[in-house]
Structure 1
Amino acid sequence: MDHPIESGADGALPHADYRCGLVALAGRPNVGKSTLLNALIGFRLSIVSPRPQTTRHRILGIASSEAGQILYVDTPGLHRGAKRAMNRSLNRAARAAISDVDLVVQVIEAGRWTDEDEALYAALTEQKAPRLLVINKVDLSKDKAALLPFVATLSEQHDYDEIHYVSALKKKGLAELERAILARLPVRAPVYGEDEITDRSERFLAAEMVREQLMLRLDQELPYATTVEIEQFSDRPDGVAEIHAVIWVERDGQKAIVIGQGGAQLKAIGSAARRHMERLFERKVFLKLWVKVREGWVDDEAMLKKFGYTD
């Protein structure tokens, strides 16, 4: 992944102890990395759903304060036994993201440590960057005392600079985590303006918001056979953003499900995505959706590249 620090600011520090650096949020699928990113930057940037593999791309979220600028990288979750080209691509993207940062935050679920968590930890130990452990979803633990032996065992067997307990959903424990992150970043001038929240384009974010609705509204495995491509994004003279998007699926039967009876499902997906876009883009949006079939796109390296799934 390109290191945004290399693009450089003008070198002027707002004050002598101002800090800036890249921080990877890493973890197995569905531990709450995207919810944590959104909570840390105070903005709903990264799409969220209860399903694994919601995050498929590197998302940079920028949090600026008087103390410094933290460039959070929300990474795809690492998958074990990745048999399809899509999963292998996500794993490559996740590993690339953690190889070029100033700090890594490994996120796990309270009370759970799986083989995937262990595999990620092993990958982190190959990097020189310091690492923090964030135990997320502590609000779901009925018996907080039961976490103590769990954390004690983790501490004995794994080497972290610090361990933090948070609830990304409830926004608990975030201030302490942010202070710990800033303390480990280099003294460096800010890279982005204080009002910027991401390096991603509106075009990219529009595709993600359509895909979020697919993840939320479609049953079980179907969302993993879909992706979204923006064919047109333009601002009309009346100030409306006109967006044409294609939802790609693998089979005709999947196309029928996405469209729904009388087009009801596709209309609901489009309406919800459009409302999110209008809030994020701060202008009216005209959204047109199509559903097209491309057999085996999930295993087609050329198609994955076309859809933006790169390292």
Structure 2
Amino acid sequence: MIAVQALVRWIASSDFAPAPLVGQDRMPLWNLVSLRIFEGLSMALLVYLIWAYVVTPWRRTGALSLDGKFVLGGVAAFVADAFLNCYTYLFAWNAHNVNMGVWTAYLPFHNPAASSRYAESLLWGPPMYVYFCAGVAIVGCPAYFAMRSRWPELSNVSLLAIVWVGEFAFDFVVENLAIRLTHGYAYAQTYGPFTLWAGSQFQFPLYESFLVASLGLLYTWMRLQAVTSPDGLSPVERGFERWSPALQSTVRTLAAIGFCCAATILIYHLPFNWLGIIGASHAHLPTYLLPG
């Protein structure tokens, strides 16, 4: 309900328009081209994940798989992305992103002094919430089983730790390539002791990859529980049988989507905001990365 009211009020407001491009800094053409390629590849990946894990299983069985629920949950969790700048401008957005502004002013706890006129990406933003969560779980589970087969002496904790390291490395590489090649976003204010290249446009908080990997590992663990369970249920779906048969499928779907949204806020957004707000490392940003 919080997400729906925020989106409806935003769409009905004058804020529903592309964010203004302020200042005189010009974005290099090759970075702009890279941004458009990044947007296109991100949307292509999202379409693939929706087709492969939502549409195809639905057409084949008439029901959503856990992967499909996680894909939809990632899209739903993207609404919470506007929480990143609810208090102050921590996450910088490029005004050249394909955008219609942002809905942050219509979310709870928004600081009226914080800008709500910046370019939340509509093309590469939602896919990130899918491939860094559902996507890494889809890849992480086969990797887990392959390692367990190759090294049976390793404990479950050790195997999951290796998966976490892989997810950390994946996020670190993808994000640093994205911020350097596309200028699509930047980390405007971070906690200095945990920040690489502090003060530059490309400063990167290591806790970003830590939090993203931890969130991805939770998705991976949840999927592992379903795959290894005799009834194929993830922990968040259990108890659905207490509902009437007509509602059971809907309850399972909403439980999985609710897990995605709650996990995103609790594991990623709250720690990220806390560390950013207490941080004092300010990036030197071109004007096209500043809010209007």
TM-score bracket for this pair, using the shorter chain length: under 0.3
Higher relative helix content: 2
Normalised by the length of structure 2, the TM-score is: 0.25
Normalised by the length of structure 1, the TM-score is: 0.24
Higher relative strand content: 1
